[in-house]
Chain A
């Protein structure tokens, strides 16, 4: 497997612009990265020190070799790393961490760099630690339905490896051909099948991690219970702040005997939102329940030719899987609900080919929408399902007000929105305007009783909105947890958890108990 992020080339990004390294206008990084004035070592000195444990070819210091690592999936933020290190095994990772710990050099872990919140954005004076070479599948146990993998293994590679046993790994982020399982654990990633089969959290049994000091911890277990505090729960979704994940045991499950998907069209987007709430209320947990609005549907149709109804205001994809008899029952009930919710057309995929096509369009929706404008910005807020209609209407309203088009593609069953704001970074202020609109949408999600991030993480991107979602005391606890794992604060500094000072500067925005004086206070 390739060690450079060129594996991203395999993700369906039509013109590569979202990942391209040619920067359009460069955004200065304004995270409060603590400075360590004592770092006097030059990159070359770091390399020669590290070469005691790793081959020199695994340590990159030249400008051009480091360039592919200066950004992740959130390409508006860029930062050239000081040194890039590509360890090939756990021992090498440990050596790098011990050295960095001793020398007080910040370390940023990186999987495949597909993260959408800047979690793997390098530190200007730090080591960018790529886990991409730890890419081996170590063991498959078909009877126990477990797979032991290194963190750099790609999500889809796990399903491919266990396919001969009739098994697969359920969490399926749209980026699954590229993103690493280590990155998935660090972000608690989801996918279209997570409504029924759970997020990464629910499908990981145990992990091995190295703390900043290079100490090894084994968390979780293959047994169904462990003793002690649930440190694994803290690690999952910790965005590279607590420890570096070096091995993972995931749970895989039997491929369903049958899977069928319905494509339903609606003339009004609120009808689609209501249908989602009604399906869930009826006691069905669909294997997938996804929505796209007209803009997204058209873009996806142009891109993959799935046969989507391009005139519809919204389409829903509802999947049922399991025993054939169960699928038939569920399908019949879902159709009934969709009809009574006012669907203008209901189509069931004729065969598995068509079913795959329906999903391919949904999974390629980001890059497809990406073709509509020079740049797009993806949001990841979550709201209660019953507020879908309301929130979408408000977003449409703001879209007009800001003069920025917004396409909506999302995990409707989980209430996880992904509004994609289209903009052109070449236009002065366009990015700032986009960020302001995004902030408003996230604020709305919090006000509706939801959250600023369902699955993409906080990273550098949503660090200000963390002040909105949490109070000072909760943030203090987060800092305390971080300190418990990494007293030096050298692991991924400046990400995910804002300093109290930063929140104070932004001003008391915290929405306690959803009592935000909503809706229209101009806070941004």
Chain B
């Protein structure tokens, strides 16, 4: 383990006393807007605090590299089931939790939030607080650990996190079919709803892809049962490039949207190139429609749209009503009374002091 908590606490306390905004920084992989006059560098605080494979959890300091954690788990036959995107080799575990991003296995294994068991954090007054724990079941107190997921550091500096881990699959196989978008959406939803060991789905340029993971026998049996698919040999690359947004598709100079919707929503009717993943729950679109139109379409499909690659900022906060906004504000004020923690993120207008 590396680094001490005390200097981090001191830095936050000082920022609190002086009402000076801080940018909490892990690996910098998410390329976020910066406001903070000063940077709180979490990479100085890293290492594995506790890992017991048979207890299915790992506790690590926030500045630990995600790749290092994944390597350790792999050596012990385990993994982070939600398959987090790194978006850069420097990604840290704290940043991962703050960003709340999940990967291709989202629809079958669950999201990052489903795997957070506990956090230790520094609040906006520089207090060292612990919530949750190391056991899978725990209903004592409100679930503050999970509140931190996707809060982009605006409710506290995550210093330590306990994650539930899962056994790795011994085998995987990717199958492909030629299908239209409509057909693929239907099939994704039908198949995920059956008990096949499907752990990822995508549809792009008329190709519908499915990843199977499990024991050798279960993968084989399922591949036979899901008739007509041909095995592809770039499967591993495909899911990782998709997760890391490294496919050529993502490099477009034209506007790219990530549209999160009800998985069973019919094709969105936007004209442009699409890439569908998460069983229909995420629809990437390259299109020239205005942001109002894309937003409306997403809303009608039960979700929201975000222009890529912006992350961590939600300007039209957030489709929630007056009471919802009041509660959001009250929470922000509770955890960060002087709005010093990443004030440029989430709904920046709430951080006004």
Interface residue ranges of B53-89 to A (CB < 8 Å): 53-56, 77-78
* Interface 9-mer from B7-15, B36-44, B139-147: B139-147
Q: Does B334 contact A (CB under 8 A)?
A: yes
On whether the beta carbons of B143 and A454 are closer than 8 Å, the reply is no
Closest 4 CB pairs of A and B: A223-B303, A281-B54, A484-B330, A454-B137
* Interface 9-mer from A72-80, A137-145, A352-360: A137-145
Task: Say whether, besides A329-B217, A386-B54, A411 and B334 are in contact (CB < 8 Å).
Answer: no
Min Cβ gap B1→A in Å is: 15
On whether the beta carbons of A223 and B304 are closer than 8 Å, the reply is yes
Q: How far is the CA of A323 from the CA of B225 in the complex (A)?
A: 11
Task: Say whether, besides A230-B149, A384-B52, A222 and B140 are in contact (CB < 8 Å).
Answer: no
Pick the most buried of A187, A234, A456, A481: most chain B CB atoms within 10 A of its CB.
Answer: A481
Interface residue ranges of A247-304 to B (CB < 8 Å): 253-257, 277-278, 280-281, 283-285
* Interface 9-mer from A305-313, A366-374, A466-474: A466-474
Q: How far is the CA of A254 from the CA of B194 in the complex (A)?
A: 5
On whether the beta carbons of B146 and A230 are closer than 8 Å, the reply is yes
On whether the beta carbons of A228 and B328 are closer than 8 Å, the reply is yes
Q: Which of A143, A198, A237, A280 contacts B139 (CB 8 A)?
A: A237
Q: Does B189 contact A (CB under 8 A)?
A: yes
Contact with A along B235-259 (1 / 0, CB 8 A): 0000000000000000000000000
On whether the beta carbons of B327 and A484 are closer than 8 Å, the reply is yes
On whether the beta carbons of A451 and B324 are closer than 8 Å, the reply is no
On whether the beta carbons of A481 and B331 are closer than 8 Å, the reply is yes
Q: Does B260 contact A (CB under 8 A)?
A: yes
Min Cβ gap A134→B in Å is: 21
Q: How far is the CA of A384 from the CA of B260 in the complex (A)?
A: 37
On whether the beta carbons of A238 and B142 are closer than 8 Å, the reply is yes
* Interface size counted on chain B using CB atoms at 8 A: 84
CB-CB < 8 A to B196: which residues of A?
323
On whether the beta carbons of A233 and B327 are closer than 8 Å, the reply is no
On whether the beta carbons of B136 and A144 are closer than 8 Å, the reply is no
On whether the beta carbons of A217 and B52 are closer than 8 Å, the reply is no
Q: How far is the CA of A6 from the CA of B294 in the complex (A)?
A: 51
Q: Does A478 contact B (CB under 8 A)?
A: yes
CB-CB < 8 A to B113: which residues of A?
230, 233
CB-CB < 8 A to B262: which residues of A?
144, 221-223
On whether the beta carbons of A329 and B54 are closer than 8 Å, the reply is no
Contact with A along B146-162 (1 / 0, CB 8 A): 11011100010000000
Q: Does B35 contact A (CB under 8 A)?
A: no
Give the interface of A toward B (CB within 8 A).
Answer: 141-145, 167, 187-188, 190, 194-195, 198-199, 201-202, 211, 213, 215-217, 221-231, 233-234, 236-238, 242, 253-257, 277-278, 280-281, 283-285, 322-323, 325-326, 329, 382-386, 411, 414-416, 449-458, 462, 466, 469-471, 473-474, 477-478, 480-485, 496-497, 512-513
Q: Does B167 contact A (CB under 8 A)?
A: yes
CB-CB < 8 A to B195: which residues of A?
254-257, 322-323
On whether the beta carbons of A217 and B303 are closer than 8 Å, the reply is no
Min Cβ gap B79→A in Å is: 11
On whether the beta carbons of A326 and B142 are closer than 8 Å, the reply is no
On whether the beta carbons of B334 and A383 are closer than 8 Å, the reply is no
On whether the beta carbons of A466 and B334 are closer than 8 Å, the reply is no
Q: How far is the CA of A466 from the CA of B138 in the complex (A)?
A: 12
Q: How far is the CA of A452 from the CA of B151 in the complex (A)?
A: 27
On whether the beta carbons of B147 and A233 are closer than 8 Å, the reply is yes
Q: Which of B135, B142, B147, B320 contacts A384 (CB 8 A)?
A: B135
User: Which residue of the partner chain A has the closest CB to B137?
Assistant: A454
CB-CB < 8 A to B331: which residues of A?
229, 481, 484
On whether the beta carbons of A485 and B327 are closer than 8 Å, the reply is yes
Task: Say whether, besides A227-B318, A230-B147, A451-B133, A483 and B330 are in contact (CB < 8 Å).
Answer: yes
CB-CB < 8 A to B53: which residues of A?
281
Q: How far is the CA of A411 from the CA of B196 in the complex (A)?
A: 27
Q: Does B335 contact A (CB under 8 A)?
A: yes
Q: How far is the CA of A56 from the CA of B129 in the complex (A)?
A: 49
Q: How far is the CA of A233 from the CA of B114 in the complex (A)?
A: 10
On whether the beta carbons of B137 and A449 are closer than 8 Å, the reply is no
Min Cβ gap B174→A in Å is: 19
Q: Which of B140, B146, B193, B215 contacts A145 (CB 8 A)?
A: B193
Pick the most buried of A199, A227, A280, A415: most chain B CB atoms within 10 A of its CB.
Answer: A227
Min Cβ gap B214→A in Å is: 7
Q: Does B204 contact A (CB under 8 A)?
A: no
CB-CB < 8 A to B286: which residues of A?
none
Q: How far is the CA of A198 from the CA of B278 in the complex (A)?
A: 19
On whether the beta carbons of A455 and B135 are closer than 8 Å, the reply is no
On whether the beta carbons of A384 and B55 are closer than 8 Å, the reply is yes
Write 30 A-B pairs (CB below 8 A) sorted by A numbering: A201-B143, A223-B303, A224-B260, A224-B263, A225-B260, A227-B304, A227-B318, A228-B314, A230-B147, A230-B150, A233-B146, A237-B142, A253-B193, A254-B193, A278-B54, A280-B54, A322-B218, A384-B52, A384-B134, A386-B55, A415-B136, A415-B137, A451-B135, A451-B137, A453-B139, A454-B137, A477-B129, A480-B334, A481-B142, A484-B331
